């Protein structure tokens, strides 16, 4: 899993998580990647630099490292739980102000969102963070 710094045609900058750089190239070529702020699909990678975090290969990563990285990401987003697909659509169709959200969606729901052109990044959110 790698984190890429991305920018859209309107100069919004955001991070995208991908299995590999090749996976990003494949998804962006088919417009599966879009800006979380304005849904622009002309996404380009920012040059690699000190701000690009490269996580170790999934097979070698310790779960705690992945959880720590995801928890950091999740801290900056609103947990909407099972409302995630609904909230993601509202944001995409600009019914509510744009914001970062996270939550729970089934594989089928995620596939449907991606097919609608809605940017979702399936992440292994630590379960301890979700159970209260």
Query: Residues interacting with Zn ion, by CB under 5 A?
Result: 8, 10, 12, 35, 37-38, 40
Between 36 and 85, whose beta carbon lies closer to Zn ion? 36
Between 45 and 66, whose beta carbon lies closer to Zn ion? 45
> CB of residue 93 vs Zn ion: minimum separation in angstroms?
16
Between 40 and 129, whose beta carbon lies closer to Zn ion? 40
> CB of residue 65 vs Zn ion: minimum separation in angstroms?
30
Name the strand (E) or helix (H) holding 130.
helix 127-130
> CB of residue 40 vs Zn ion: minimum separation in angstroms?
5
Between 1 and 33, whose beta carbon lies closer to Zn ion? 33
- Return the HEC string of 44-95: EECCCCCCCCECCCCCCCCHHHHHHHHHHHHHCCEEEECCHHHHHHHHHCCC
> Following DSSP, what letter does each residue of 89-116 receive, concatenated?
HHHHTTSS----EEE---HHHHHHHHHT
d(CA 40, CA 16): 14
> CB of residue 37 vs Zn ion: minimum separation in angstroms?
4
> In this structure, what token pair is assigned to residue 46?
């920012």
């Amino acid at each position: 899993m790698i984190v890429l710094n991305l920018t859209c045609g309107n100069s919004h900058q955001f991070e995208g998580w991908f299995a590999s750089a090749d996976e990003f190239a494949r998804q962006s070529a088919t417009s599966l990647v879009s800006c979380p702020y304005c849904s622009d699909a002309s996404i380009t990678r920012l040059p690699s630099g000190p701000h690009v975090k490269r996580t170790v290969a999934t097979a070698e990563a310790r779960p705690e490292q992945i959880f720590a990285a995801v928890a950091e990401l999740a801290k900056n987003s609103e947990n909407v739980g099972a409302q995630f697909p609904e909230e993601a659509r509202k944001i995409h169709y600009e019914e509510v102000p744009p914001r970062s959200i996270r939550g729970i969606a089934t594989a089928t729901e995620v596939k449907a969102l991606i097919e609608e052109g809605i940017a979702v990044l399936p992440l292994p959110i630590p379960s301890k963070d979700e159970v209260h």
